[in-house]
Structure 1
Amino acid sequence: MSYIEELLSMTYDECVDSLLKKYGSVPKDYFLDADCIKKTPGITRGKEGLYIHHIDEDKAILLSTPDHARLNSFDYQKADRLVYCNLLEHLVLHIKIVEYPNVEQNYGQICGIGGITNFIVPELNDIYSGIVYKQEWKKKVIEVVLPYKADYLKCIKKIVDMNIHVPLLSSFIFNEKAGIWSKDKNEELFRELKKIGVKY
């Protein structure tokens, strides 16, 4: 069983604990102060292909953005409420947020879904369609997750099996003229996603 498969079998809290053991703690708060304007320097690990996930995104959406961060407790920005993860592990965390909804989530917000459909899946679709980034840290993001396409498809299958009807055939770079993420140019990934039940 792969590490991603192990995470998919866990609860959200168990996933967070496992990732904290794997990567260690984030050393400082996400933002410098409660104004949530400036991110704390020196806490990113992009050179290792890692992102920072806000653990309390099971209660509130978009906690890494100043406007949404300020609407919530600054405790959500504290170092002990952050965890490192690669992009595929980030997807699992958001799947788990949807699978195990927190009863304390903000009124009117559906946590987890937006991260999946607006950020994580489009980027992973680009990666598994052969995108080439210029930024060195983004190249590392690709390097870390590229060997695990089968695990990515298992994550997508989990979403499909949960009957979450969200767009998963999406991309950040939908430009058929440039030859990126068009059905003709990326037939293999389209076919694989359709085969596991992705409808749109």
Structure 2
Amino acid sequence: MLYFKNSDQRLAYEQRHPIFGEHTGPLQKQLLTEGEFSMFAFAPMIEGNFVEVNKRMKLVDQLGDPSVITVALATINIASPKPDTMLLAMQDNIPSEGKDEQLLKLKRLYPLKLVKLRVENETNCILRVAVAKRGVFYIELLTEGADDERFGRWVKLINLLNRSPDVIKEETDEQDMRPKKTSKIKRFMKKILKINRSS
């Protein structure tokens, strides 16, 4: 599999597939400094900040401010016409010179062959996410008002993904799927590479 090695390759890809846009989000900027994730450095990627909700569109977190989940869809294979990887990250408060600096910590990596994405409620910017053998959860995009057009890009990407036959069997039981800390990121990376090579 060939990866994106520089910004020129990414730009050429985005000109052929403008659905991604040319913006580099905070998660990808942080991944640029982490060697083990170098394959994402120039990968076309869409990012968004979400909160988890239930099927009735109520916030799942009942103990205070809901946790913000950064979700990204990326294409690491230069020959792929659509995203092949989903990344989940959460914010950590790291003290820096007397101030709180928001940094992102990567929590989960999933090959999109194991994920089924669906627009659950377009008006409220809610997605349904089904992960093979892990269940179903719902996330709501944090927007900046009625004129915010970012959710439209997610809708277009999901429609693109769903043009192909389903490759996972969705779990019928819904469960709390908020990302948790893990020290096994490398294992997920190896899994993604293995699945992508077999395609």
Confirm or deny a common fold (TM above 0.5): no
Higher strand content, 1 or 2:
2
TM range (shorter): under 0.3
Higher relative contact order (CA closer than 8 Å, sequence separation 6+):
1
If the length of structure 2 is used for normalisation, what is the TM-score?
0.28
